[in-house]
Amino acid sequence: MSLLRRLFMLVFLRPLLLVAIGLNVRHRHRLPQQGPAIVIANHNSHLDTFVLLSLFPVALLDRLRPVAAADYFLRNRWLAWFTLNVVNMIPIDRGGGRKRSAGDGETHSDKDRHIAQPLQGCVEALQRGEILVIFPEGSRGATETLSRFKGGVARLKEQMPDVPVIPVFMRGLGRILPKGEILLVPVVVDVVVGEPLPWAGQRAGFTPHMEAAVAALAAELAPPSG
């Protein structure tokens, strides 16, 4: 599927992005050029993943692994084939494993283990030296609005503290392809890449630190015109 992935990027995706949008990228050199690494970004559109992938050299495509919800992207045979083989996605279970009823004796360590199980594919990808692309908000939020981050990246960082986490902020994609729409609206997209986030040795506090870092990147941009 490596050849198909490259053809999709060179023949379809990059030309489409060049025609449909204008990209203004700041600090592109901060993107990781090798793995393991985790790139986190805000999430307003299905185009978010494709824009991020397009910023990397084609030679890295096979090592780029977007992380997304299995219940959405594996919901039918054709979409599952495309996302797994062309996009190279790692599917995760947003339910966090088997549901338990309240009061069944589950301890805090049990809960951590059940939540961590869906991340096993991410851990294995990082161990292979791959680069994860993760949207910590989980699902697409309101257009150009930053929602609260979930804790999955902090759990990965706790297991693999030496893996860098690089924040990215993107503005404009929510207006090009808003949630629920299928037609592209030409808009200039701003992308700002941040420095790797420091790790204090504890999971507690890392998720709000990621939120603050992405919000700080947004503050680098001038207010949108119009």
* 83 to 67, 89, 94, 152, 174: CA distances (angstroms): 10, 6, 17, 21, 21
Q: What residue segments make up the domains of the chain, in order of their start?
A: 2-96+106-219
Please compute, for residue 116, the number of CA atoms within 13 A of its CA located in the half-sphere on the CB side. Answer: 15
Cβ–Cβ < 8 Å for 92, 67: yes
CATH assignment of 2-96+106-219? Answer: 3.40.1130.10
Q: What is the pLDDT of residue 97?
A: 44
Tens of pLDDT along the chain (226 residues)?
678 888 888 888 888 777 777 788 999 999 999 999 999 999 888 788 999 999 999 999 999 999 988 877 778 888 888 888 888 999 888 664 444 333 444 444 433 443 346 789 999 999 999 999 999 987 665 666 777 888 899 999 999 999 999 999 998 887 776 556 556 666 788 999 999 999 988 888 999 999 999 999 998 887 765 5
Provide the angle, in degrees to the nearest 10, between the axes of the packed helices 206-219 and 152-159: 120
Residue in this structure with the two tokens 């060179």, named with its chain if needed: 10
The reported pTM is 0.84
Q: How far is CA 48 from the centre of its chain?
A: 8
Provide the angle, in degrees to the nearest 10, between the axes of the packed helices 120-127 and 152-159: 40
What the block records as the tokens of 138 is: 């989980």
Distance (Å, whole) CA 134 – CA 152: 9
Residue type, 196: P
Taking the CA atoms of the chain, what radius of gyration do you get in angstroms? 17
Please compute, for residue 26, the number of CA atoms within 13 A of its CA located in the half-sphere on the CB side. Answer: 18
